[in-house]
Structure 1
């Protein structure tokens, strides 16, 4: 090692780094995937809060129906999509495989499912809007169909990436578990 005051210690030519311990690849991958999934969960939380705010404002009649439209039917079951995200967060501290699997399955059921139903529910109104230019529901002056389809596109991407990264994280954890069993 070099010092400020003098020459390098004898016998250390810089090639003595190979004996040092390194972090295994699946641990690095696990940490980075957890970080990515947390970012996606926070993005999902923002989407969830926007939908919940729209529902609260419209049901409590805080503003007129002309400003914020009544929610569509798919928005009610979508509110349950917060539960899978919580299971995902609870699985991280101790690498709990069961919670992560529950999170993945219920994300498909409570997040992707209502979004697919919402696409089908709003399709006739979207056709009417784009063929005839008539919209009957508005959110702050914009067509509610356009706004909600935009929200749905973002939500599908967030949930799709969340499931993808969760699957990769699950594979990483299984690799870790299999290596422990071999020893």
Structure 2
């Protein structure tokens, strides 16, 4: 076999083996989407820590721990969707395991978990905060809307929501691509 820049076999220019050096499409797609899904899961962790910072006041209250600096922030009480969204973090471990072992069934469970515990609470939050955000965006008035530190509370949540929707939708897209690529191999790993 000829190598570039090395000794050449007589009667060939070295390109007759180029077909052997191509990677099958499903393996290339798999490698690319694995990397992208890992980035999405990393951003999911970052969003989780933002949510954990928001929930810290309530968690400390439930544990009967008093920290004056946190109490002075007067963080609003959390709604149930915030805790439900935090459950979606558990499914990231399932997704990472599926990526590591190329498991179709585990990846499908990851996708289901992100859809139910990631996207549904976020869609609930979009609907819940929509009246306040719409009123503030259209009129600019802060009367009759919830404020935190003189900022519209719903608008602050929309900053989080936009990021979370992007992370979850891209995660689902890359996970679906992985399932398709793994299924194309012809072998099903459950």
CA contact (8 A) 1:73 1:118 kept: no
Query: In structure 2, do the counterparts of structure 1 residues 91 and 42 end up closer, same or farther at CA, with 3 Å as the change threshold?
Result: same
Say which SS state the counterpart of residue 23 (structure 1) adopts: coil
- Aligned counterpart for 1:119 among listed residues 114, 118, 126: 126
Deviations 1:138-180 (A, max 9, x none): 1x5533211111110110111011111111110100001x2x5
1:59 to partner: Cα distance: 4.2
Counting matched residue pairs gives 174
Tell me the TM-score normalized by structure 1: 0.82
Q: 1:18 corresponds to which residue?
A: 18
TM-superposed CA distance for 1:54, in Å, is 0.9
| Offset, 1:122 | 1.9
**Would you say 1:78 and 2:88 are equivalent positions?**
no
Flag structure 2 segments of 5+ consecutive residues without an equivalent.
Answer: 61-65
The corresponding residue for 1:102 is 109
CA distance in 2, matches of 1:9, 1:90: 45
User: Which residue among 165, 171, 178 is the counterpart of 1:169?
Assistant: 178
Counterpart of 1:152?
Answer: 161
Q: Which runs of 5+ in 1 are unaligned?
A: none
**Cα deviations by residue, 1:111-156 (Å, 9 ceiling, x for unpaired):** 0010111112222333454443234331x55332111111101101
Partner of 1:57: 57
Given the superposition, is the C-alpha separation of residues 47 and 54 from structure 1 closer, same or farther in structure 2, using an over 3 Å criterion?
Answer: same
8 Å contact from structure 1 (residues 69, 144) kept in 2: no
| 1:70–1:128 distance in 2 versus 1, CA, 3 Å | farther
CA contact (8 A) 1:66 1:137 kept: no
Structure 1 residue 87 corresponds to structure 2 residue 94: yes
